[in-house]
């Protein structure tokens, strides 16, 4: 089980939305350090805002699914193109957190916004006007350690190149994703410790488990 040679990797479409959400709920949401830290999925509930965030950019034709020989989803990489706004170094990233009814997801958005502002990719790279943002990367547990994540990332870089986008960015909230993209030659641009993101009382919002201590931002030119 899990032979990469028997897998098909293709561009994800709107028709895959239901299968992608089901896969993410089963394998990504329960493993993601942020969702674990704030118990977002506690009690088997759903977070429709997170599900929408995962699939809102499928129409860009730059996300991918890996399918086994039975046609089941065994890996996903969900991407979105971010473009420099005129007169502003920061891209439009996520919906304003104040408008999100789910307070736990609102904190995730606030954290990602802060990591985005600190990393300041457009400010660091004035020649780059757009990049493909790797939002979600997940592989079925039975298929891990077989190079599927590398294949998904490599093909995402190729898609970015074919679409005329010069860079790929990955904001790594997981230690393991950070190690994976570093091995693939991505350039590290910023570290934001989780303990630095605090609430009004000065307490860390996300009590993540080791080794997930930081948000690490990486980029790669394509």
CATH number of domain containing 36: 3.40.630.30
Range of the domain at 90: 4-221
SS (H, E, C) the chain: CCCHHHCEEEECCHHHHHHHHHHHHHHHCCCCHHHHHCCCCHHHCCCHHHHHHHHCCHHHCCCEEEECCCCCEEEEEEEEEEECECCECCCCCCCCHHHCCCHHHHHHHHHHHHHHHHHCHHHHCCCCCEEEEEEEEEECHHHCCCCHHHHHHHHHHHHHHHCCCCEEEEEECCHHHHHHHHHCCCEEEEEEEHHHCECCCCCECCCCCCCCCEEEEEEEEC
pTM: 0.89
Per-residue pLDDT of the chain (222 residues; tens, 9 = 90+): 445 568 999 999 999 999 999 999 999 988 999 999 988 877 666 788 888 988 999 999 999 999 999 999 999 999 999 999 865 544 445 555 555 657 888 899 999 999 999 999 999 999 999 999 999 999 999 999 999 999 999 999 999 999 999 999 999 999 999 999 999 999 999 999 999 999 999 999 999 999 999 999 999 999
Domain count, the chain: 1
């Amino acid at each position: 089980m899990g032979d990469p040679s028997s897998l098909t990797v293709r561009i994800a479409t709107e028709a895959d939305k239901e299968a992608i959400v089901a896969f993410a709920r089963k394998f990504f949401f329960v493993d993601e350090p942020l969702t674990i830290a704030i118990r977002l999925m506690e009690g088997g509930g759903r977070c429709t805002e997170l599900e929408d965030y995962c699939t809102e950019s499928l129409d860009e034709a730059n996300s991918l699914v890996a399918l086994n020989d039975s046609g089941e989803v065994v890996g996903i990489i969900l991407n979105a193109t971010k473009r420099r706004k005129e007169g502003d170094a920061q891209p439009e990233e996520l919906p304003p957190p104040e408008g999100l009814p789910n307070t736990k997801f609102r904190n995730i958005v606030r954290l990602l916004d802060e990591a985005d502002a600190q990393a300041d990719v457009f400010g660091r790279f004035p020649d780059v006007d757009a990049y493909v943002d790797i939002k979600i990367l997940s592989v079925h547990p039975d298929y891990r350690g077989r190079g599927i994540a590398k294949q998904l990332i490599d093909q995402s870089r190729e898609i970015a190149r074919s679409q005329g986008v010069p860079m790929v960015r990955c904001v790594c909230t997981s230690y393991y994703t950070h190690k994976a993209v570093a091995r693939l030659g991505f350039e590290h641009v910023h570290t934001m410790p989780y303990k630095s993101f605090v609430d009004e009382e000065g307490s860390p919002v996300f009590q993540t488990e080791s080794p997930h201590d930081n948000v690490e931002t990486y980029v790669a030119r394509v």
